Structure 1
Amino acid sequence: MKNSRLMILAILLLAGILITQLNQIPNLNKQLLQAKSTLKQAKTNQKQSQTIVSSPQSQQDHVSKSTKIVTSFVKTFSNQPTSSYPETLKGLASQRVINELTQTFAPSVTFSHKAHYDVPIVAIKNAWGSDLEYLVIAKSDAQSVAYTITYDTDEKQVTDMSRLTLKGAFDNEK
């Protein structure tokens, strides 16, 4: 009789442990999925880093192509009328950047016709990651204008820009 009570107690104890463990399975599945997602992201980041480090020529070519696109972008918006921005800048910049250019960033020249801008300086501020940051100076006979431009290599377009004030060597003092 005593053995049967011990057996029943042991069975109830084991059943309680089994039920507790079964209740934890969904929580453990969530943790497993989260860990797999984190591992996948870490592997992707490691692969990107290894690619950049192991093939600097590839990264340099990548940056060179992006620099040419940014230079073309600045020449295009600097030397086109503001009304043509939606057509001429499509594909080169995000819609938000095109809207900002149309409203606020268009170079202002006090002459009756728009001056021609050259782009003598396109300097890279940050060459790592999917967003490249540039410092660009556009220069005309009347003024020089500096911009910081963010180019997204995944989207292959300018995603952000801001106009800077120039002091010193690029001021056209006449």
Structure 2
Amino acid sequence: MKNSRLMIFVILVLAVILITQLNQIPNLDKQLLQAKATLKQAKTSQEQSQTIVSSPQSQQDNVSKSTKIVASFVKTFSNQPTSSYPETLKGMASQKVINELAQTFAPSVTFNDKAHYEVPMVAIKNAWGSDLEYLVVAKSDAQSVAYTITYNTDEKQITDISRLSLKGAFDNEK
């Protein structure tokens, strides 16, 4: 009789343990899903970190390409009549910039058939992010003109331009 009571007690204890474990299954499933989500987030964060660490080379490539585009843009609009801006600058600059050049800059700067502008200086002002900022000088025999230009690497075009007054080394206007 004592053995049967002991056996019943052990069976009851095992049954309680089994029921407790079965009740834990939904909580364990939740913990598993949460752990998977955390792992996925950690992998994504690691990929972003690797991209940031490896981005200086890609950013340097972006800066190099966009510097050439900006220099070509300044040379193009400096040596073209304003009436040709919509055709020649399309794709290089936003419509806002083209309109600004045609209406604001061109009348205040002498771009005539005899003057030929070179671009002796393209300096980067801000090299990080999708908007690169440049300081560009266009120079002819008669005058020099400086611009700050914003190039958007996502849109792959010039999104802002403003003319600066020159003092010092490039101030050779007669």
Confirm or deny a common fold (TM above 0.5): yes
User: Which residue of 1 is the match for residue 65 of structure 2?
Assistant: 65
Q: CA deviation at 1:50?
A: 4.9
Q: Is the 8 A contact 1:126 1:132 kept in 2?
A: yes
Q: Is the 8 A contact 1:52 1:58 kept in 2?
A: no
User: Which residue of 2 is the match for residue 109 of structure 1?
Assistant: 110
Q: CA deviation at 1:117?
A: 0.3
User: Which residue of 2 is the match for residue 31 of structure 1?
Assistant: none
- Unpaired segments ≥5 residues, structure 1: 1-39
Q: Is the 8 A contact 1:79 1:114 kept in 2?
A: no
> In 2 relative to 1, CA 167–91 (structure 1 residues): closer, same or farther, beyond 3 Å?
same
In 2, the alpha carbon distance for the partners of 1:113 and 1:75 equals: 14
- Unpaired segments ≥5 residues, structure 2: 1-40
Query: How many pairs are equivalent?
Result: 130
Show the 5 A alignment for 1:2-81.
Answer: 47=48, 50-81=50-81
Q: CA deviation at 1:62?
A: 1.2
> In 2 relative to 1, CA 52–136 (structure 1 residues): closer, same or farther, beyond 3 Å?
farther
- State the one-letter code of the partner of 2:109: S
Larger radius of gyration: 2
Q: CA deviation at 1:148?
A: 0.2
TM-score when normalising by structure 1: 0.68
Q: CA deviation at 1:97?
A: 0.3
User: Which residue of 1 is the match for residue 122 of structure 2?
Assistant: 122
Aligned-residue Cα RMSD (Å) equals 2.3
| Matched residue SS, 2:171 | coil
Q: Is the 8 A contact 1:145 1:163 kept in 2?
A: yes
> In 2 relative to 1, CA 137–54 (structure 1 residues): closer, same or farther, beyond 3 Å?
same
- State the one-letter code of the partner of 1:84: S
In 1, the alpha carbon distance for the partners of 2:55 and 2:165 equals: 37
- State the one-letter code of the partner of 2:58: S
| Matched residue SS, 1:142 | coil
User: Which residue of 2 is the match for residue 166 of structure 1?
Assistant: 166
User: Which residue of 1 is the match for residue 132 of structure 2?
Assistant: 132
